[in-house]
Structure 1
Amino acid sequence: MIFHWSRLDWNFPDPAMKLDFEANQYWKKAPACGVKVDQQGRYYVSVPRWAAGIPATMNRIVIKDGKPLLDAFPSWEWNQAGNVHALQSVLGYEIDEFNRIWLLDQGKIAYEPSPDGSQKLVVWDLNTNRMIDSINIPDEIASYRTSFLNDLVVDNKNGFVYITDSGSGWPDHPLDGGIIVYNMRTRTLRRVLDRHYSTQDFPGFQFQIDDKPIYKNQPVRIGADGIALSADRSTLYYCPLTGRNLYAIDTSRLRNYNTPLAEISQAVRAIGSKRTTSGGIHADNRGNVFYSMLEGKGAGAYSPFSNTFQDFVSDDRMLWVDGVAFDQKGSLLFNSNRIYGMFGGYEMDWTYPYNLVIWKAFVGNGVKSYLYAH
C-alpha cells in the first residue's frame, strides 16, 4: 500500500477553492482512477469529472504535512473546467518510454455532451514540462453525445495509438462502443469495431462485489474499457467492463487504414473468460497481460504462451481495482477506489481510511511495461 485516503483532497492554490470544495462535499464524487509513475518516480492519478466540482482532473501526488494531496497537472490553468482547450475530464492516460504523458480527454463533464474541441489527445513532455501536441477527436470519430473515451495504449515503434470508447456517455441509452486508431505519421483517426459484440456490453450481464449488485437500482452497462498492447506490438487486447471475456486482434489489420471494416470485425478473437470483470488491463515486456479483478478484488494475469488466466494478488480492501500499470522496478501498480460506492447508490463510510488506495505488488526483476520491450 503506497498511498491511501478516506477521501481525496487537493493542494489548493487558494483558500476560497478549498472552502467551496468542502462546503459542497464535491469529494463524494471524486474517485482516484488510473495511477502511473514517471521516470523521475513521480506518481500521477486521474480524477474524471463524472460530476460537478472536481478541482483538477489530472494530478500529481504531493506530500504535505505527511499527507498525500493531489496537485493539478500540468497546472491549475490546464485543468480549467469549461475551457475546451484545457483538460476537461481525463480517465485514461499513458506515460511512454520517452517520458511523455499521453492524456486522453473525454471532453464531457457530468455526462453532458462533449463540447466541440474538448475531446482530444494531449501529449506532454515530462522532461521539459511542455506540450508537444494536441490531437482533436471529432464527433464523427467519437460521438459527442454517446462517447466515453476510456483508455489508450501507445506504439511509438510503428507510430500508432489505440483508444477504447466504451460508448456509455449517454446514460439510459443504447451503447455505442468501439476502438479508435490514431496514425501519428499521417495524423489521422479511424474508428473500427463500432458496436461490434466485443466492444459492447455482454447482453443481460450483471455482476456483484461482496454479493451486492454494482448499481443498486439498475445494472451498469459499459462497453470496451481495458486495453493492452503486446510487447511485440503485434496484438491488441481489450475487454468490455460488463463482461468477463478478453478479446484480441492483430494490429497489422488496424495499422492499414485500407483494411475493410468488415474484415476487421471478422478478425476479432475471443481469448476466453478472465472469470472476473476488469476495469483496466496492461501488458508487460515479456508478453503477459495483467488485468484488474473487480469481482475477485485484486489483479490477475493472462499468459498467451499457456493460454491461461490466473489470480496474481487479492485483498479484501481492493474494492473496485481500476487501473493497472508498471513502475521501473519490477512492480505492478494499481488502485482501488470504490466507484460503485460513490456512484451506485450505496452509503459510503467516509471515515474508513482505505476507501481509495494505491497498491504496489512485486512481479519480478526486469519486469516492466510493454513500452520497454526490445
Structure 2
Amino acid sequence: MPLLRRDLLAGGLSATALATTLPAAAQAPATRTGEAATSRPAGAMELAHLVQAPSTPTGLAISRGGRVFVMMPRFNAEVPITVAEVAPDGSVTPYPSAAANEPDRSRPQSALFHVPNGVFDRDDTLWLLDAGLPEGKGPPVPGGAKLLQIDLARDAVTRVVPLEAGITPSSSLNDLRVDIRDGRALAYITDQGQGEEGALIAVDLASGRVVRRLDGHASTKSQKGVVKFVEKRPVMLRPPTGKAQPVSGGANGIALSPDGRRLYYAPLIGRRLYAVDAAILLDPDATDAEVAAGVEDLGEKGLTGGLIADSKDRVYLSLQEHNAVARRDPDGTITVIASDERLVWADTFWITPDRWLYISAAQVNRRPEYNGGKDEQTPPYAVLRIRIDADPA
C-alpha cells in the first residue's frame, strides 16, 4: 500500500524549541563513487508559522507578496478542506472558497478533491494540482485530476487543465513544477501511485497535451526492502488489529533546474535521486525507451519527501528520517544545512525572493493509519525556515 506523502507532519512545535545538530552518522555521503562526504554542524531553523490546519498540511506555497497557502490532501473522506490560505495568526480559510473545497463528483472540473501541492509560476500565478481522490485512494474521479490556474488578485480560477490523459486507475498525483517563460508554458507532475508503480507526467500548458512517461521505470518505482524511520520508529501501516505492513511510494518529490532543462525527482520510498532532460518528456518523436535511456542516477540522497532547486542549481533535500534539510551541489556533494526537532516529516519546500527557504513539517507519520488507528498529530503544524545564499530557480 502506498505511503501518502502528506501523512507525516508534526512534532514538538514550541516556538522556543532548540534546533539540534544531526548526528555524524546521519550525514549524507557524497553521491559520487569514491568521493568523501563533507559535513559541518547543521544550522538552526526559525519558526515561521504555526498553522491551525484541520488536517495534515503537506503542501506549501508562498506568493511574492507573502500570502501563504497550505494544501491538505484528502487521505480520507473526513478531511473538510484541501486548500487553505494561512492568516498571520495561523488560522486558515478555505481557498479559493469553501464551495470550491466541496468534493462534489457532479462537477469534477471545478470541485477540489485531493490537492497535495500547489506552486507559483514566475508571474506569481498560483497553480493547484488536484489528484481527484476524494477518499485518498481508489480510481480518481472521472475528470477530477486536473491543474487549476488561479489569479490571486481576484482569488478566482481562470483555467482548468484536465490531466485525464496522463493518469491510470491507480494514480496518486503528488507534486508539481510549472515553467512559464521564453515562449514556453509547461508543467511537470509526479505520480506516486497507490502501490509500487509511479510515473512522471508532462503537460504542454499552451495546447493542453498531457504525456505519461517513465511509467513503471526503476526511477519512479517504490524501492523494495526500504523502511523509513521517523521519530525513531519505522513507518508502517498499522491497523487497529492485525499485522503491520510496509508502505510504498513511487515518484514523489520534484525539482526543476534554473534553466528549466533538467528535471530532478525521487520516489518517496527510495534513497536515490534521479534526473531527466525535461524537453524529451514532451517530445512527440521520443519513444518511451529513449526517455528511459536518458534517465540519470545521481546517487544516494537519503529518504526524502519534497525537493526544490535554487538559482545555483543546487537541490534541497527534505531528510525525513533526521528532521533535517540537506543541499546537493551540482558536483554531487551533499551537505546537511539545518535540523530541528520540530521538523517532523519534512515535506514541501518553498524559496522566496528574499532568500528564505521554507519547509512544512507535516507529521504524516503520526496519522492514524500508521499508529493503530490513533491520531497522534499535534496541531498547530509548524512551517520552518532558514536563510540561503541563492534566489529561487
TM-score range, shorter chain: 0.7 to 0.9
Tell me, in whole angstroms, the C-alpha distance in 2 between the residues paired with 1:142 and 1:349: 33
2:73 aligns to what?
A: 48
The alpha-carbon deviation at position 129 of structure 1 amounts to 2.8
CA contact (8 A) 2:235 2:247 kept: yes
2:392 aligns to what?
A: 369
The alpha-carbon deviation at position 40 of structure 1 amounts to 1.6
The alpha-carbon deviation at position 55 of structure 1 amounts to 2.1
* 1:277 paired to 2:299: no
* 1:87 paired to 2:115: no
Question: Residue 264 of structure 1: SS of its match in structure 2?
Answer: helix
* 1:147 paired to 2:171: yes
* 1:181 paired to 2:202: yes
Question: Residue 365 of structure 2: SS of its match in structure 1?
Answer: helix
CA contact (8 A) 2:355 2:392 kept: no
2:90 aligns to what?
A: 68
1:250 aligns to what?
A: 277
CA RMSD of aligned residues (A): 1.7
Tell me, in whole angstroms, the C-alpha distance in 1 between the residues paired with 2:112 and 2:65: 23
Q: How does 1:211-290 map to 2 (within 5 A)?
A: 211-215=232-236, 216=238, 217-274=244-301, 276-290=302-316
Question: Residue 77 of structure 1: SS of its match in structure 2?
Answer: coil
The alpha-carbon deviation at position 280 of structure 1 amounts to 0.3
Tell me, in whole angstroms, the C-alpha distance in 1 between the residues paired with 2:138 and 2:295: 32
Question: Residue 223 of structure 2: SS of its match in structure 1?
Answer: coil
Deviation digits for residues 155-181 of structure 1 (CA, Å, limit 9, x no counterpart): 11232111100112xxxxx43310001
1:20 aligns to what?
A: none
- Report the CA distance shift for 1:349/1:130 in structure 2 as closer, same or farther (over 3 A): closer
1:13 aligns to what?
A: none
CA contact (8 A) 2:60 2:118 kept: no
* 1:125 paired to 2:151: yes
Letter in 2 for 1:49: R
The alpha-carbon deviation at position 127 of structure 1 amounts to 2.9
- What are structure 1's unaligned runs of at least 5 residues? 10-26, 169-173
TM-score by length of 2: 0.81
The alpha-carbon deviation at position 312 of structure 1 amounts to 1.4
Tell me, in whole angstroms, the C-alpha distance in 1 between the residues paired with 2:139 and 2:328: 36
The alpha-carbon deviation at position 328 of structure 1 amounts to 2.0
Q: When the two structures are aligned, how many residues end up with a matched partner? A: 333
Q: Which of residues 50, 54, 66 in structure 2 aligns to 1:4?
A: 50
Letter in 2 for 1:360: R
The alpha-carbon deviation at position 130 of structure 1 amounts to 2.7
Question: Residue 248 of structure 1: SS of its match in structure 2?
Answer: strand
The alpha-carbon deviation at position 150 of structure 1 amounts to 0.4
TM-score by length of 1: 0.85
Q: Give percent identity, aligned residues only.
A: 28
Q: How does 1:179-218 map to 2 (within 5 A)?
A: 179-215=200-236, 216=238, 217-218=244-245
The alpha-carbon deviation at position 349 of structure 1 amounts to 5.0
Question: Residue 361 of structure 1: SS of its match in structure 2?
Answer: strand
Tell me, in whole angstroms, the C-alpha distance in 2 between the residues paired with 1:125 and 1:242: 35
- What are structure 2's unaligned runs of at least 5 residues? 1-46, 239-243
The alpha-carbon deviation at position 108 of structure 1 amounts to 0.5
2:5 aligns to what?
A: none
